[in-house]
Amino acid sequence: ETAVFQTPNYHVTQVGNEVSFNCKQTLGHDTMYWYKQDSKKLLKIMFSYNNKQLIVNETVPRRFSPQSSDKAHLNLRIKSVEPEDSAVYLCASSHRGGRDTQYFGPGTRLLVL
Amino acid sequence: AQKVTQTQTSISVVEKTTVTMDCVYETRDSSYFLFWYKQTASGEIVFLIRQDSYKKENATVGHYSLNFQKPKSSIGLIITATQIEDSAVYFCAMREPNTGYQNFYFGKGTSLTVIP
């Protein structure tokens, strides 16, 4: 049963455009994440967000930014997309710390033309 | 440096046999947690099984079990009586609760193909 929701499923855009992806979790978790998965299936953490504390992977380009209205939502904005941004973006959530696992959303596939 | 390493890029096995997928990790924490996830062809990532570092017993869930060798920093995933639907990419992950970060460290994944 899906408990981490992402929209859209798929998005095609052109270089230079701005895009925004939505993520919502209904698990009552206090920490949310964004991952980028490339064509080789490599999972790269981009951001984690907990109690208004944002932790950023320093390798993430500044055109990427997370946006949160509350602990159940963590959206991802890309200000000016580049061809290398084509990938699957996965949202996840968990309880802070400890032994709890992450739960993943179905992902948003981005294609930049 | 890679904190979680999966050296097997892909594995093929015949249906109903047993397969083991390797994973080694690196940590300085005395307490940590190890996870295995499965990513199906649809892209869905699901949690399979967890091993707590302070537990000596190997975790088992259904036809998944773990081979936890703490001195070797190794956590292998064993799937017995494999089925066609076990074909997927399997990720090993580690969580360090004391680093102050919320991150999970993932390996690069092992692609499993189960052949009829």
Of the candidates B53, B50, B45, B69, the one whose C-alpha atom is nearest the C-alpha of residue B61 is: B50
Classify residue A76 by burial, with Cβ atoms within 10 Å: 0-12, 13-18, 19+. buried
- Given a cut of 70, whether residue A3 has pLDDT beyond it is yes
Give the C-alpha separation, A46 to B85, whole Å.
30
Token pair belonging to B26: 């690196």
- What does the pLDDT read at residue A100? 84
- Given a cut of 80, whether residue B97 has pLDDT beyond it is no
Work out the minimum CA distance from A48 to partner chain B, whole angstroms.
6
Work out the minimum CA distance from B102 to partner chain A, whole angstroms.
6
Work out the minimum CA distance from A102 to partner chain B, whole angstroms.
8
- What does the pLDDT read at residue B47? 95
Give the C-alpha separation, A67 to A65, whole Å.
7
Residue B108: left (phi > 0), alpha (psi -120 to 50), or beta? alpha
The share of chain A scoring above pLDDT 90, in percent, equals 69
Band of the pLDDT at A1, cuts 50, 70, 90?
low
List the single residue in A97, A99, A104 with the smallest CB-CB distance to B45.
A104
- What does the pLDDT read at residue A95? 84
Q: What average pLDDT does range B85-95 have in this prediction?
A: 96
Q: Which range among A6-20, A77-91, B101-115 shows the weakest confidence by mean pLDDT?
A: B101-115
Token pair belonging to B94: 């580690």
Strands B88-95 and B33-39, by their bridges, are antiparallel
Residue with tokens 């208004």: A52
In sequence order, what are the residues at sequence separation of 6 or more whose Cβ sits closer than 8 angstroms to the Cβ of residue A45?
A33, A34, A35, A57, B103, B104, B106
Band of the pLDDT at B108, cuts 50, 70, 90?
very high
Work out the minimum CA distance from B89 to partner chain A, whole angstroms.
8
Show contacts of B54-58: CB within 8 Å, 24+ apart: none
Classify residue A22 by burial, with Cβ atoms within 10 Å: 0-12, 13-18, 19+. middle
Per-residue pLDDT tens digits for B4-57: 999 999 999 999 999 999 999 999 888 899 999 999 999 999 999 999 999 999
For residue A5, count other CB atoms closer than 10 A to its CB: 14
Q: Which residue of B has its CA nearest to A9?
A: B43
Size of interface A-B (CB pairs under 8 A): 55
Q: Do B101 and A55 lie within an 8 Å CB cutoff?
A: yes
Residue with tokens 């959206």: A75
Tell me, yes or no, if A90 comes closer than 8 A to chain B by beta carbon: yes
In sequence order, what are the residues at sequence separation of 6 or more whose Cβ sits closer than 8 angstroms to the Cβ of residue B109?
A41, A42, A43, B6, B39, B89, B90, B91
Chain B residues close to A104, C-beta within 8 Å: 37, 44-46
Q: Do A99 and B39 lie within an 8 Å CB cutoff?
A: no
Tell me, yes or no, if A88 comes closer than 8 A to chain B by beta carbon: yes
**Residue B110 contacts residue B9 (beta carbons within 8 Å):** yes
- Given a cut of 90, whether residue A2 has pLDDT beyond it is no
- Given a cut of 60, whether residue B100 has pLDDT beyond it is no
Tell me, yes or no, if A103 comes closer than 8 A to chain B by beta carbon: yes
- Given a cut of 90, whether residue A69 has pLDDT beyond it is no
Residue B73 DSSP label: T
